[in-house]
Chains A and B, each alone.
Chain A
Amino acid sequence: MKNYKKLISFLLAGTMMFSLAACGGKSNNNSSAGGSKNATAENKKVDKDGNIVKAKNTDAKSEDNDLVIAIEGSVSSMDPANIPDTNAISATRGVYENLVRFDENNKLVGQLAKDWEISDDSLTYTFHLNEGIKFHDGTDFNSEAVKANYDRVVDKNNNLRQRRTFIVTNDDGSEEPRVANVETPDADTVVFTLTKPWSPFINRLTQFCIISPTALEQYGNDIMNHPVGTGPYTFVEWEEGDHTKMKRNENYWGDKPGVDTVTIKEAPEAGTRTAMLQTGEADFVYPMPVDQIEAVKGTDDLNVKASDSNIMRYVTLNMEQKELKDPKVREAMNHAIDKNAYIQLMYSGYGKAATSVVPKSISGYEEQPEYKFDLDEAKKLMKEAGYEDGFKLTLWGDNTTQEIKGMTFIKQQLQQIGIEVDVMPMEPATINDKIYVDKDKANVNMWYVNWSASDFTMDGSLRSLLHSSMIPPVSANTAYYSDKDFDSDLDEGLTNADADAQANVYADAQERAWKACPWLFLGNDDVIYAEKTYLSGVYVSPDGAFNFTDAELAQ
């Protein structure tokens, strides 16, 4: 009898444990997207300073001079040459600097380089470096340091992610360097000569941070634990998964930041981030999900701000699919989607309907004529194409709450013109498996997805998605869009660094792609963040990286 009892108790305990584990293990994707109380709240306009919520108490002072930034993601590495995400990029920008950078208006400006020239054949880039700069360990910054960093990145043995920027690997495994050589004619001049013209080169240099060569020699690839740069902050500590801390560089060559220390804290739960802001544990929080905005309206010393992002949200339409071959059908589908309703539903109105194939923040952006939300026009086009009775399609996308919401919206919209959509949410890796297959095995109909080009170039925003050579399994052109003229526009833009020439070809490329409707063009959501009113000088760039080099806390 006792044995029987023991067995039962084991089973019971096991069952209870399993059910507890199931509850405890639920992903917290739900916690930040669910519970949006009112999609029709009173004040959803963004004022001219980008404020969604403006603090009433603008005289609030900070208790200390230590900036605390709470983020959702994680700073996965402090080695700027081996970074997989924007949080790591943001953190390393406190300690490291580049030859050139994007300023608050997304213009390319010099940082460690005071100016530069590009030769007429777009092959030679000459940078004139600022003088008198020292690394945090006292080493001089000069052209040799730049070269040492370049050599480190392209060295295959170091296994650095950034190597891909400078070395192209072909399908057969052979490699082609983009840079033919790096010369240092004197301490303040660095000359990069490319093997072929490649206009994104200078944009990519905004991600090429310069590490102290002395430190590189001492630490090698362990440099991620001992960052030594030229930046406005010096490294204090990096505890992966918890926080990153830096302090003001008293010997900084430029304008010293106003704050004593910066701590980037990782707080994956949105509700907790908001609480940190309310208690004052954090001075700046990113991202701020829209459903938290209501929660903070009561606190009087918070600003919630919105700004443009470089995220493009769209649905790719497989143009090889029988029903999607006809441009009239794709046009009809675009007319059947109410983009403003989409922005309202998904982002509570904080975003913009798509006005081109790329967001406004991309250089070369040109506004395109709207595909007005017009069901009659849509139905008319469907009829002309011979699909008055509609047809069935599948829609693939990530299985997060937000994405599923978006896909369901698309399904409802297309239902109005007779298209029956089967929404199939899947784990991202599973989708990748199904997408990157040979053409004859491709099953994709529609793919609800988004893209952001971290180098802000038109090429970076379009090539992998719409160039005919990027059809799966090579890359992500799941629209199977193939237009020779579009391809040559992109190729010319890539090789010709002249601004006017680029403007021309990229305008043409956008027009072509827009007219052909390889996608359902949806929108560009804003980046939303929140800060204490006593903080200034911290902002989020369109690519989701946060900048704190000019931070100041009112004392």
Chain B
Amino acid sequence: MGRYALKRILNAIPLLIVISFLIFMFIHMIPGDPARQIAGQDATKADVEVVRDQLGLNDPLLVQYGKYMKGLFTGDLGYSVKNGQTVVQTIAPRFKPTIMLGLCAAVWAVIIGVLLGVVSAVMQGRTVDYIAMIIAISGISLPGFWLGLELIQLFSVGLGWFPTGGLGSWKAYVLPSLTLGAGIMAILARFTRSSMLETMREDYVRTARAKGLGEFLVVMRHAFKNSLIDIVTVGGLQIGGLLGGSVMVETVFSIPGLGRLLVDSINFRDYKVVQALLLFFALGYIIINLIVDLLYGVINPKVRYS
């Protein structure tokens, strides 16, 4: 297991380097002159030149890239052009809201999603199955910001149970994580269901039943365990996406997360912040995939030796 893990981790490093290069190149290919954007409407060309100089944009691209890479290794990610703070100071406070919210959404979405999927598969064709699938489809089909706004209207304005936004108290987490998790819950539910339906038709499940095992053990120990690989794969991808924050949920519920920061920084052409964020998202995704890979090793020992 150790070697398997080490191999996987080492594979990630060249990947990160390539990604950092791609991020740098793509950002500099974005049309529009960041200096003019930053200098403002009433800046003259000379003012814009001053800004461009300050940002180091007049250096040749390779030099800029060199500085950027050096910065990455020394931990100096540069300064945000919006207010002169360091990139780290700008990004750091946004982690907690994003991660907390992501966690809440992920936990309930995974639990409910998988549960709905298993129940539907086991009770296939019955009313429970249909109801569960209607819930699942709503989760995917209902547009996120509509759902969020409706929840606010119903539970905040109408009933006054929860606040309209921010993350002040535990109550504030309820509505946004419902909105954020809805899609994930839906996908996991459907995926779990179809995967379970397949595994339950396998020969070894028939054997388990023939052996006289109770239905619950048959479902959970045999069918479900074999579906886990698929479920973990899909779940991992979904949760990886949560790391990027969700611009939509953060906007509707006024949450100062990484998603909104990314969009705002792009609009402002705050290159350094955008670069750091994209790198972080890539890193996060790689780590999640790593965890998924390692989980494969745990779930299905055969994978370790292949």
Interface 9-residue window, one of A263-271, A362-370, A401-409, A547-555: A263-271
Which of chain A's residues have a CB closer than 8 A to the CB of B165? 267, 272, 276
Residue pair A272, B152 in contact (C-beta under 8 Å) = yes
Partner of A17, one of B166, B238, B247, B263: B238
**15 A-B pairs with C-beta separation under 8 A:** A9-B234, A13-B234, A17-B238, A23-B248, A26-B248, A27-B247, A28-B247, A168-B46, A241-B261, A268-B254, A272-B164, A275-B153, A429-B30, A432-B33, A464-B41
- Please tell me if the beta carbons of A239 and B93 are within 8 angstroms of each other in the complex: yes
- Interface residue? A475 (CB, 8 A): yes
8 additional contacts (CB under 8 A) given A24-B183, A432-B37: A5-B230, A25-B248, A164-B47, A241-B256, A267-B254, A428-B37, A432-B33, A460-B42
Interface string of B35-57 (1 = CB under 8 A from A): 01110111111110110001000
Asked if B90 and A242 make an inter-chain contact with CB atoms under 8 angstroms apart, the answer reads no
- Any B CB within 8 A of the CB of A219: no
Stretch at the interface among B10-18, B66-74, B155-163, B216-224: B155-163
B187 within 8 A of A: yes
Among B54, B261, B264, max chain A CB count under 10 A is at B264
Interface on A for B, CB 8 Å cutoff?
Answer: 5-6, 9-10, 13-14, 16-17, 20-21, 23-28, 31, 74, 76-77, 79, 82, 84, 159, 164, 168-171, 173, 221, 224, 239-243, 265-269, 271-272, 275-276, 278-279, 281, 427-430, 432-433, 436, 451, 453, 460, 464, 470, 473-476
- Give the residue of A173, A240, A428 whose beta carbon is less than 8 angstroms from that of B90: A240
Query: Looking at the complex, which one of A21, A77, A164, A474 makes contact with B82 (CB distance below 8 Å)?
Result: A77
Q: Select one of B153, B191, B254 contacting A269, CB under 8 A.
A: B254
Query: In chain A, what residue has the closest Cβ to B230?
Result: A9
Q: CB-CB < 8 A to B301: which residues of A?
A: none
For B45, list chain A residues within 8 Å (CB). 171, 436, 473-475
Q: Which residues of A contact B249 (CB under 8 A)?
A: 24
A74 to B83, CA, bound (A): 12
Chain A CB within 8 A of B117 CB: no
Q: How far is the CA of A214 from the CA of B85 in the complex (A)?
A: 21
A429–B251 touching, CB < 8 Å? no
Known contacts A271-B152, A429-B32: A265-B248 contact under CB 8 Å: no
Chain A residue numbers with a CB within 8 Å of B256 are 239-242, 266
Distance, CA A17 to CA B187, complexed state (A):
9
B30: A residues at CB distance < 8 A: 429
Q: Between A and B, how many residue pairs show CB distances below 8 Å?
A: 177
Q: Please name all residues of chain A whose beta carbon is closer than 8 Å to the beta carbon of B145 when the two chains form the complex.
A: 26, 28, 31, 269
Interface residues contributed by chain B, number (CB under 8 Å) = 65
Q: Does B31 contact A (CB under 8 A)?
A: yes
Contact with A along B59-98 (1 / 0, CB 8 A): 0000000000000000000000011110000100110000
Contact B251 A268 (CB under 8 A): yes
Least Cβ–Cβ distance between A411 and chain B, in angstroms: 24
Contacts of B152 in A (CB 8 A): 271-272, 275
B272: interface (CB < 8 Å): no
Chain A residues, CB < 8 A from B230? 5-6, 9
Q: Is the CB of B41 within 8 A of A451?
A: yes
Complex contacts, A267 vs chain B, CB 8 Å? 164-165, 254
Which of B164, B165, B261: most chain A CB closer than 10 A? B164
Verify B84–A23 contact, CB threshold 8 A: no
| B164 engages A14 (CB within 8 Å) | no
Q: Are A429 and B31 in contact (CB under 8 A)?
A: yes
Do B144 and A433 touch across chains, with their CB atoms under 8 A apart?
Answer: no
Whether A164 contacts B237 by the Cβ 8 Å rule is no
The 5 A-B residue pairs with the shortest CB-CB distance, nearest first, are A429-B32, A241-B256, A77-B83, A242-B256, A169-B46
Check B233 for interface membership: any CB of A closer than 8 A.
yes
Contacts of A224 in B (CB 8 A): 83-85
Whether A276 touches B164, Cβ cut-off 8 Å, given contacts A17-B237, A429-B33, is yes
Q: B260: which A residues are within 8 A, CB to CB?
A: 241, 268
Cα distance A429–B183 in the bound complex, in angstroms = 33
In contact, A82 and B84 (Cβ under 8 angstroms): yes
CB distance from B140 to the nearest CB of A (A): 8
Known: A10-B233, A26-B248, A279-B160. A169 touches B83 (CB 8 A): no
Residue contact B32 to A432, C-beta cutoff 8 Å: yes
- For residue B196, give the distance in angstroms from its CB to the closest CB of chain A: 13
Query: Is A159 a contact partner of B54 (Cβ separation < 8 A)?
Result: yes
Residue in A closest to B256 when the chains form the complex, CB atoms: A241
Residue of A nearest to B42 (CB): A464
Q: Are B41 and A170 in touch, CB under 8 angstroms?
A: no
Bound: A474/B43 CA distance, A: 9
Chain B 232-243: CB-based contact to A (< 8 A → 1; otherwise 0): 011001100100
